[in-house]
Amino acid sequence: MLTGSADLERFARGAPRLASFDGEPLTLPGVELLQVTYELGGCAPESPFPPALLPTLPVLAVLALWRAESGPLGRFALAQLRLSCRSGVRPRQLLVASFADGEPARAALNERFAFGARAARIRLERFYDRVEGGVDVDGANALEVTGLSPLPLAATDLQFFSSMHRAETPKGLRLLQVDSELHVTRAERAQPRLTCFSADAFQLGPARLAHPVAAFVAVCDVTLPRVRFVCRADVPAFAGTERVG
Amino acid sequence: MRFGIFYELSVPRPFAPGVERAVYENALEQVRLADELGFDTVWAVEHHFLEEYSHCSAPELFLTACAMQTKQIRVGHGAVVCVPKMNHPVRIAERAAVLDILSGGRLELGTARSSTWTELAGFEIDPDTTKQTWDETIRALPRMWTEERFSWQGASFSVPERAILPKPVQTPHPPLWVTVTSPGTELDAAERGIGCLGVAAASFKEQERRTAEYRRRIESCTPIGAVNSQVATLNFLYCHEDPAQAASTGLAMLGLFGQSNAQLLFTREAYPTRAYGSLANLAPAPARREGSPGDASGVPEGMAIGDPDRIVRAIKEWESIGVDGVNFLLNAMEVIPQEKVLASLRLFAREVMPVFRKKGGA
């Protein structure tokens, strides 16, 4: 079996600090979402993952942009890059990089859920025939992505997976299982188009976004519940998963 | 009750020279023994690009080798992917007819549409269209096999009037099946009068529901060819006199199958579509988990893993819910040494098979 082969020292470098596992749950109403998926190329599929995780074959790179207009964190936007993987036999996505536009939200997401979000300017704009998203980091364009020609889908046609966030915790380096719950009220599939992507800004190393898969746009209520499970990064999830909540 | 053996041809890493050949040669030795022991059918999947899980991308060649090395056992595609970008329908008909001729009329033809993003994207196939192309292909196959000249104007393929050659040996044509992984496909099978070939481990309860629905619906089917009303389910076989050893070895096989299955990227996971349902792991749910039936050995319910008595009890249960055949995976990732696989087959044939043959099974 292919299991994660990332160097643990490098994997741990820059991991967000999580003071406790008692972060309050969060509910964000009416979040607009653009998600664009590519197959990952340019690297061995197991190389981005720690030994706790297994890659899917192929690995999917999932770019997700959220825009919240109201709710407990106020108005903010979030951009994430996640990679599809397995924890044991369960589908998961490893959070590789994230950015937030809106300081209170960035602080809350980092403190409670170890998003490790860096400050950035994030755009998410709906046109008649497309939805455009972009991320500017330190004044430089890091992402320009479009979901073209959206067509309605049923809410149940979309699938979402728990994400794994690396963090330095009171127990040491751990992967937090963040079980986001998304209640979708509007869903559309679109054609993905990527016109700018900085692998450096998104901490993707030598990998590249190789083959377009799909895009979708949605409106959903997002709940981030209290973290219940964490796992060690250095051993398979079968052996290293602990309940914390 | 009919018994089959079923091959994914999984290959463990590292893919050193000779590893794939050894897997194929072990499988062929098992098939020759199964033929001598009276097993009814050898099935082989068609998969592409599925590292470790299945290196069986040209099943027609493997099944031809099986046919050439055996006398009685039937050879089954479990299944051919009926999507023109992967297999043009004319080529499916031609290859199947040749295999039916070479095997002396021993072909079973399972059909499918592929369930992973890995395979569909590898052939640039639009997931939204595969159900339609499968339907069109399976309706064309009996006509290609039975009509002197055939023509077709369809949504996914067209053929001007041509003689599709050769014709199969079996009359009117080899039995047709469809693989069933997600709920609802049994109804597709029943409506068209084709067999229901389970390729994911199902619980007794799920199989009973599926079989009952199938039996009810096939009564009023509009057949696309000769009716095949059989229901077969997938299982895992490891038979040993010592129940503890059987459980330990068999569970190692189940575990590895489940892990390799977990790395597959199912279509729905990558691509938002209503054309594919959400598929869970194709391996049976582990026993002893809350709500998962099984026994203290840890073997999930219904699995043919244990001593002969336990396996007889499991198969009687399958028989009682109306299943006509059970197809067994014999190994996963070569975790069970070849001599143990062969011993398991022999013990099953000696102690288990006669219990069901007495009842008049084929």
Question: pTM higher than 0.90 for the full model?
Answer: yes
Contacts of B258 in chain A (CB under 8 A): 89
CA distance A108 to A153: 32
CA distance A124 to A135: 9
Beta pairing, strands A76-87 & A90-101: antiparallel
* Residue at token pair 């409106």: A219
| Predicted local distance difference test score (pLDDT) of residue B291 | 46
| Predicted local distance difference test score (pLDDT) of residue B282 | 64
> Per residue in A217-232, pLDDT tens?
999 999 999 999 999 9
Average pLDDT over residues B234-257: 96
Contacts of A54 in chain B (CB under 8 A): 259, 262-263
Average pLDDT over residues B27-50: 98
Q: Which of B265, B278, B334 to mutate to test the interface with A (most CBs of A within 10 A)?
A: B265
Give me the helices (H) in chain B, please.
19-37, 59-68, 89-102, 117-122, 130-146, 185-192, 204-218, 243-262, 267-270, 308-320, 338-347, 353-357
Q: Which residues contact B3 (CB under 8 A, 6 or more apart)?
A: B39, B40, B41, B325, B326, B327, B328, B353, B356
> Which residues of chain B are at the A interface, by a Cβ-Cβ cutoff of 8 Å?
13, 49-52, 117-118, 121, 258-265, 268-274, 278, 281
> Per residue in A176-217, pLDDT tens?
999 999 999 999 999 999 999 999 999 999 999 999 999 999
A85: enclosing H helix or E strand:
strand A76-87
Residue A151 has pLDDT above 80, yes or no: yes
DSSP string, A1-37: -------HHHHHTTPPB-S-S-PPPEEEEEEEEEEEE
| Predicted local distance difference test score (pLDDT) of residue B201 | 78
> Per residue in B209-228, pLDDT tens?
989 999 999 999 999 999 99
Contacts of B268 in chain A (CB under 8 A): 159
A152 touches chain B (CB under 8 A): no
CB contact under 8 A, B272 and A157: yes
Give me the helices (H) in B110-231, please.
117-122, 130-146, 185-192, 204-218
Q: Which residues contact A151 (CB under 8 A, 6 or more apart)?
A: A188, A189, A190
| Predicted local distance difference test score (pLDDT) of residue B294 | 57
Provide the pLDDT confidence category of residue B290 given band limits of 50, 70 and 90. Answer: very low
| Predicted local distance difference test score (pLDDT) of residue A23 | 85
Contacts of A49 in chain B (CB under 8 A): none
* Of residues B88, B25, B87, B95, the one with CA closest to residue B60: B95
Q: For residue B99, give the DSSP letter.
A: H
A154 touches chain B (CB under 8 A): yes
- Interface A:B, Cβ pairs < 8 A: 69
Average model confidence (pLDDT) across chain A = 96
A93 touches chain B (CB under 8 A): no
| Predicted local distance difference test score (pLDDT) of residue A3 | 95
Residue A237 has pLDDT above 70, yes or no: yes
Contacts of B118 in chain A (CB under 8 A): 57-58
Q: What percent of chain B has pLDDT over 70?
A: 94
**CB distance B79 to B108 below 8 Å:** no
Min Cα–Cα distance to chain A from B261, Å: 8
A234 touches chain B (CB under 8 A): no
| Predicted local distance difference test score (pLDDT) of residue B295 | 65
Provide the pLDDT confidence category of residue B199 given band limits of 50, 70 and 90. Answer: confident
Average pLDDT over residues A106-126: 97
Q: Which residues contact B232 (CB under 8 A, 6 or more apart)?
A: B2, B4, B177, B195, B196, B197, B198, B323, B324, B325, B326, B327
Min Cα–Cα distance to chain A from B14, Å: 9
**CB distance A3 to A184 below 8 Å:** no
> Per residue in B120-151, pLDDT tens?
999 999 999 999 999 999 999 999 999 999 99
